[in-house]
A and B are shown apart, each in its own frame.
Chain A
Amino acid sequence: MTAVRVLLALVGPIALLLPVAAPLRILLVLAALLTVPGVELVRRLAPEQGPGGRDRSGGRLRAVVLTVAVSLGFAAVTGTALMLAGAFTPVRVLLTAALAAVLLALLPGRRAAP
């Protein structure tokens, strides 16, 4: 399961290996921007994901909303910081997001309730 999470976290950087403007590359980049590292951050940090505090009725929708907002926000903030530092490249932004997600996926500790 962790291997799958790590692989999903790396979708963005992997997509950059595909031919420029290929439909699959566009699809994978957009998927990465919308979910990495939101999925892992929400899994770790959102309160409703923890054991005992699971929020059945609204948890899933809230997790989706948070995942997308956090992932897009992460890309915008990282990109802006890199641009202001004069070091912006798409590889750096996508790698930062992917590394954050991989670290969160590999770190031992709290897991989502089943």
Chain B
Amino acid sequence: MTTIPRTAVLPSLSVVICAYTTERWEDLSAAVASVRSQRHPADEILLVIDHCPELAARARAELDGLRVIPNRQRQGLSGARNTGVEEAGCEVVAFLDDDAAADPDWTARLLAGYLDPRVLGVGGLVRPWWETGRPAWFPREFDWVVGCSYRGLPEQSAQIRNFIGANMSFRRAEMVGAGGFRTDLGRVGTRPLGCEETELCLRMAARNPGSVLRYEPSAAVRHHVPPARTTWSYFRARCYAEGLSKAAVARYAGSGPALASERGYLRSTIPSALVRGLRPGGGGTVPALVTGVAATVLGYLRGRLTGRGSLPARLGLPVALLLWLLSLRGVNLSAMGDLGLVRVLPVTFWAALAVLVLGFGACLTDRRTPTRRYAGYLVGLITMLHATPALLYPELRYSWAWKHVAVTDALMQHGTLPNGTGPLQVYRQWPGFFVLNELILRATGLNSALSYAAWAPLLTNLALLAPLVLLYRSFTRSRRLVWGGAFLFFACSWVGQDYYSPQAFAFVLYVCVVAVVVRRLPRAQASAGRSVVGAGRIRGAAGGPRTRWVLLLMIPVAAMVCAHPLTPLMLVGTLVALAIPRRNRRVVLPVLLGATLLTAGWDLTVARPYLSQNLHAVLIGLTQPGSNATSGVLGLAGASPGQVMVAWTDRGLTALVFVFAAVALLRRRSLRHTAVPLLVLAPLPWLLANSYGGEMVFRVYLFALPAAAFAAVTVLLVPRRTPASRRAARRPTVRARRVLVLPAALLALLAAFSLAYYGKEEVNYFTPSETTAAQWLYSHAPTGSLVMGANDNFPYAYTDYGSYDRLWMDQQALPDRQLLAANPIAGLETMASGHGGDTFLILTRSQQAELTATGALPGTNLSRLESTLATDPHFPVLERTADAVVYQVLPEGGSR
């Protein structure tokens, strides 16, 4: 027993009692009374009510001398104890169960232990108080079944591995430092799981080598054991649950430390008990000893086998990845039709996606799924969706990616960006992305961005994962919602602005900046202390009104400003929206001011030539909100049937995400108090302001998607939290429906995504023979030549763009295009007539694919055009490959 020196100053003490039901009111009153009548009074008594308003009201009305606090964390004993620790103001926090009563010198005995500075915690003896007497068969070695000290524990003051939850205390600072009790362990209501205190004790000891957890049997409490806990069925169930709990602790702490005491218990305590039980007059405890050990071991084994998640959750990812890798063999890309990759990907690819979704669905049904498994599934999903084209295609996909490679090459070649025309004009004013790539190329010694541009979609999407998760963690603590939201984002992100482009780079920075800003927003008053969407508190601002972090944020904002025209405007819009609630302004306004100044500064200096040239178009755009909103959405008239289907699929997917988000925001008040609605709505006004070349509607979707996907997932994942819905959720049919509905919904979304994203690949895919023909063209065409094509959808379309003129037939005036359809030779000659130097014409399979898909140049077919040109000596063929042909266009009357 620890003796207290007369001169010793004991640390201050908060006693925390957690209660969850009014049924144990008598016990609770006795517990409180026992603490209030201590010889050494506690400095404060906190009663934490675990999600039972009725009990809270009664306690406030009838119990004196304590503070009644609702559990603000996840329901259950661990969450309630953590709430108590948060609220406690003293150096030591002691926990007493609501059905236990402390001996009068309990607090003094506990606190005496803390005179040794190495001591992190002191726990005491828990004596069972059997309401109906101890059953004869109930062995003392198993008193832990009823939450009491058992035979086998030290009988004198000693260092111990862990305490019994009914009677323990810790230094508050150490508990806070260790992170408190795990809320995924421990008892919720009457569910007999436990061991959260064991896990905490192990964690605290691991953090503080040389520290001591002291067992002080003289600091005793008595623990009420009601008749319901003296039955065989409770005994079996509790032993089994203890095994399960031990398995969970072993997962977190490793089986070595987690089971050290249990090994000793099984090696010495239990054999001695069996020997005693087998002696004459042993009391008939042997059946209980055997049953107890067997049930605990069974529970432990089951916990170890299934505790890492269900079989589908564990195997889903590796099986899916294996199937995916197998599916990549022997894909016949030349058979790609109007539906692109969707037509040619084998059944194993779709099976891989289905297995991935089922595995992820299984993860979502288990709240213990570790973060690393969720992350693994997301990385797997992103890899399967975005590495597939990179692995399958022999050449870089998508003509815009080729264009951006050409811009990077031009920068490498000239040290500055040449004055381009048409779509190339803009890059000179916003060169940040290309300069960064020039830096990468020059610093690494690589020759061209072509060596890595094919992997940009994979890298962009992977880079979005961390800021997305950070953003979602500001809305909820539920890992299911965070990772489910991220899954939904990638399953709905069909816009394809993830290729080698300034937009992709700027969008990643945008999500990073928004995630950091939102994380600093103060918590909404209306939802303070309440869960966001059923799972945990919203995180509020972590610090005071510091401005250093604003300076830090200005670096990525400045990069965005010099890399892309639209993204900084979107950011400014988003920050304006976030500043609407008054409580957010202290955090948001400095960032908004900085972002606005940087954007305006850039646009009025470096980007001024472009903006002043295009000011008229910008102003016109402002006056035509209707046509801005619909441009890019209408105009399927000439498109192929497959592409019409693809277009309707992506529209449907877009609409679905917004409908789900709207439903979530309408139904969930707590969600409305987060930044989610502001982030969803902020990009929408841009729809009316400018058409952005018919792209605005897609960009608005892109920028709204992070928040919209999170809102949408709350519809799929969280049932409404009414008592009726909770009761209904326990029914097997409802459970089965919940388990099946989510994977089915995710599968449907992924199917729609595949059609929307892969459905255009006939156009985006290029063959080596097209690349060869284009390379031949540029190696033979003299500088200053005119390069003609049906459109710019072919590799190297903009190579060395400062040195060549370009002419794309689909962008010519309507009379010229009509003439081309009626008389191809005359049409081509008219189009080329203004150019003085050499003129070359390249026609490729991919140009035809784009004409077919979009319906541009109606009446013109490249095969027919080739047949016509073959008959005319003014169009000699210079180079022909399987998928492309290069002509020289000779002036009328001229010869080669």
User: Which parts of A77-94 form the interface with B (CB within 8 Å)?
Assistant: 77, 79-80, 83-84, 86, 88-90, 93-94
CB nearest to B439 among chain A residues = A79
Q: Are B416 and A70 in contact (CB under 8 A)?
A: no
User: Which parts of B464-504 form the interface with A (CB within 8 Å)?
Assistant: 466-467, 469-470, 473-474, 477
Return B773 CB to nearest CB of chain A, in Å. 28
Q: Are B546 and A47 in contact (CB under 8 A)?
A: yes
Of the residues A15, A44, A84, A86, contact of B606 by C-beta under 8 Å: A84
Q: Are A80 and B562 in contact (CB under 8 A)?
A: yes
Q: Are B519 and A58 in contact (CB under 8 A)?
A: yes
Of the residues B466, B473, B542, contact of A64 by C-beta under 8 Å: B466
Q: Tell me which of B149-157, B252-260, B430-438, B638-646 binds A.
A: B430-438
Of the residues B443, B513, B548, contact of A69 by C-beta under 8 Å: B513
Return B444 CB to nearest CB of chain A, in Å. 4
A95 vs B432: C-alpha distance when bound (angstroms): 18
Q: Are A86 and B416 in contact (CB under 8 A)?
A: yes
User: Which parts of B419-454 form the interface with A (CB within 8 Å)?
Assistant: 431-433, 435-436, 438-440, 442-447
Total A-B residue contacts, Cβ distance less than 8 Å: 148
Q: Are B467 and A53 in contact (CB under 8 A)?
A: no
- Given A56-B179, A61-B466, A80-B431; A75-B473 close (CB under 8 Å): no
A105 vs B511: C-alpha distance when bound (angstroms): 28
- Given A66-B516, A69-B513, A80-B435; A21-B552 close (CB under 8 Å): no
Return B602 CB to nearest CB of chain A, in Å. 10
CB nearest to B542 among chain A residues = A55
Q: Are A57 and B443 in contact (CB under 8 A)?
A: no
B836 CB within 8 Å of chain A: no
User: Which parts of B51-91 form the interface with A (CB within 8 Å)?
Assistant: none
A61 vs B467: C-alpha distance when bound (angstroms): 8
Return A99 CB to nearest CB of chain B, in Å. 15
Return chain B residues, CB-CB under 8 Å to A53: 542-544
- Given A25-B445, A66-B512; A72-B606 close (CB under 8 Å): no
CB nearest to A41 among chain B residues = B552
Of the residues B411, B440, B469, B558, contact of A77 by C-beta under 8 Å: B558
A23 vs B443: C-alpha distance when bound (angstroms): 12
Q: Are A12 and B558 in contact (CB under 8 A)?
A: no
Q: Are A30 and B466 in contact (CB under 8 A)?
A: no
Return chain B residues, CB-CB under 8 Å to A26: 444-446
A72 vs B543: C-alpha distance when bound (angstroms): 26
B559 CB within 8 Å of chain A: yes
Return chain A residues, CB-CB under 8 Å to B416: 83, 86
A33 CB within 8 Å of chain B: yes
B551 CB within 8 Å of chain A: yes
Of the residues A12, A45, A59, A86, contact of B552 by C-beta under 8 Å: A45
A6 CB within 8 Å of chain B: no
Return B552 CB to nearest CB of chain A, in Å. 4
In the complex, which of the residues B433, B474, B513, B559 has the most CB atoms of chain A within 10 Å of its own CB atom?
Answer: B559
Return chain B residues, CB-CB under 8 Å to A93: 439, 443
B158 CB within 8 Å of chain A: no
A79 vs B411: C-alpha distance when bound (angstroms): 12
A114 vs B604: C-alpha distance when bound (angstroms): 45
Return chain B residues, CB-CB under 8 Å to A76: 432-433, 435-436, 505, 559, 562-563
Return A101 CB to nearest CB of chain B, in Å. 13
Return B162 CB to nearest CB of chain A, in Å. 23
Q: Are A83 and B431 in contact (CB under 8 A)?
A: yes
Of the residues B473, B552, B562, contact of A70 by C-beta under 8 Å: B552
A61 vs B479: C-alpha distance when bound (angstroms): 14
B870 CB within 8 Å of chain A: no
Q: Are A70 and B556 in contact (CB under 8 A)?
A: yes
- Secondary structure type dominating chain B contacts: helix
B234 CB within 8 Å of chain A: no
Return chain A residues, CB-CB under 8 Å to B469: 61
Q: Are B435 and A83 in contact (CB under 8 A)?
A: yes
A20 CB within 8 Å of chain B: yes
A42 CB within 8 Å of chain B: yes
A65 CB within 8 Å of chain B: yes
B549 CB within 8 Å of chain A: yes
Q: Are B512 and A65 in contact (CB under 8 A)?
A: yes
- Given A47-B542, A90-B443; A66-B559 close (CB under 8 Å): no
Q: Are B443 and A62 in contact (CB under 8 A)?
A: no
Return chain A residues, CB-CB under 8 Å to B509: 69, 72-73
Q: Are A45 and B440 in contact (CB under 8 A)?
A: no
Could you tell me how many residues of chain A have their Cβ less than 8 Å away from some Cβ of chain B?
50
Q: Are B562 and A77 in contact (CB under 8 A)?
A: yes
Of the residues A25, A48, A64, contact of B444 by C-beta under 8 Å: A25
Q: Are A58 and B473 in contact (CB under 8 A)?
A: yes
Q: Are A50 and B431 in contact (CB under 8 A)?
A: no
Q: Are A61 and B473 in contact (CB under 8 A)?
A: yes
Q: Are B512 and A79 in contact (CB under 8 A)?
A: no
A63 vs B719: C-alpha distance when bound (angstroms): 33
Q: Are B432 and A77 in contact (CB under 8 A)?
A: yes
Q: Are B443 and A65 in contact (CB under 8 A)?
A: no
Contact flags (1/0) for B721-749 with A, using CB distance below 8 Å?
00000000000000000000000000000
CB nearest to B446 among chain A residues = A21
CB nearest to A64 among chain B residues = B466
A74 vs B556: C-alpha distance when bound (angstroms): 7
A80 vs B320: C-alpha distance when bound (angstroms): 43
Q: Are A47 and B543 in contact (CB under 8 A)?
A: yes
A42 vs B148: C-alpha distance when bound (angstroms): 49
CB nearest to B546 among chain A residues = A47
B515 CB within 8 Å of chain A: yes
Return chain A residues, CB-CB under 8 Å to B477: 57
A77 vs B438: C-alpha distance when bound (angstroms): 13
A70 vs B549: C-alpha distance when bound (angstroms): 11
- Given A26-B444, A29-B443, A70-B552; A58-B539 close (CB under 8 Å): yes
In the complex, which of the residues A30, A53, A62, A90 has the most CB atoms of chain B within 10 Å of its own CB atom?
Answer: A62
Q: Are B555 and A73 in contact (CB under 8 A)?
A: yes
Q: Are B445 and A21 in contact (CB under 8 A)?
A: yes
CB nearest to A37 among chain B residues = B555
A86 vs B544: C-alpha distance when bound (angstroms): 42
A105 vs B433: C-alpha distance when bound (angstroms): 28
A86 vs B469: C-alpha distance when bound (angstroms): 40
Return chain A residues, CB-CB under 8 Å to B411: 83
Q: Are A61 and B432 in contact (CB under 8 A)?
A: no
A58 vs B467: C-alpha distance when bound (angstroms): 11
A89 vs B435: C-alpha distance when bound (angstroms): 10
Return chain A residues, CB-CB under 8 Å to B431: 80, 83
Contact flags (1/0) for B530-562 with A, using CB distance below 8 Å?
000000000100111010110110011111101
Return A32 CB to nearest CB of chain B, in Å. 8
Of the residues B179, B473, B546, B552, contact of A66 by C-beta under 8 Å: B552
Q: Are A30 and B444 in contact (CB under 8 A)?
A: yes
Q: Are A65 and B466 in contact (CB under 8 A)?
A: yes
Q: Are A79 and B515 in contact (CB under 8 A)?
A: no
Return chain A residues, CB-CB under 8 Å to B445: 19-22, 25-26
Q: Are A62 and B552 in contact (CB under 8 A)?
A: no
Return chain A residues, CB-CB under 8 Å to B558: 73, 77
Return chain B residues, CB-CB under 8 Å to A47: 520, 542-544, 546, 548-549
A55 vs B562: C-alpha distance when bound (angstroms): 32
Extra 11 A-B pairs, beta carbons < 8 Å, given A15-B443, A72-B556: A21-B445, A33-B439, A47-B543, A47-B546, A57-B539, A61-B466, A65-B470, A65-B512, A69-B555, A76-B505, A79-B432
- On B, residues with C-beta under 8 Å from A are 179, 411, 415-416, 431-433, 435-436, 438-440, 442-447, 463, 466-467, 469-470, 473-474, 477, 505, 508-509, 512-513, 515-516, 519-520, 539, 542-544, 546, 548-549, 551-552, 555-560, 562-563, 606
A and B contact pairs by CB, cutoff 8 A, 27 listed: A21-B445, A22-B445, A26-B444, A29-B444, A33-B443, A45-B548, A46-B552, A47-B543, A53-B544, A55-B542, A56-B179, A58-B470, A58-B539, A65-B466, A65-B512, A66-B516, A68-B463, A68-B466, A69-B508, A69-B556, A70-B552, A75-B436, A76-B559, A80-B562, A89-B442, A94-B439, A94-B443
- Which A-B residue pairs are the 5 nearest by beta carbons? A20-B445, A73-B559, A73-B556, A21-B445, A47-B543
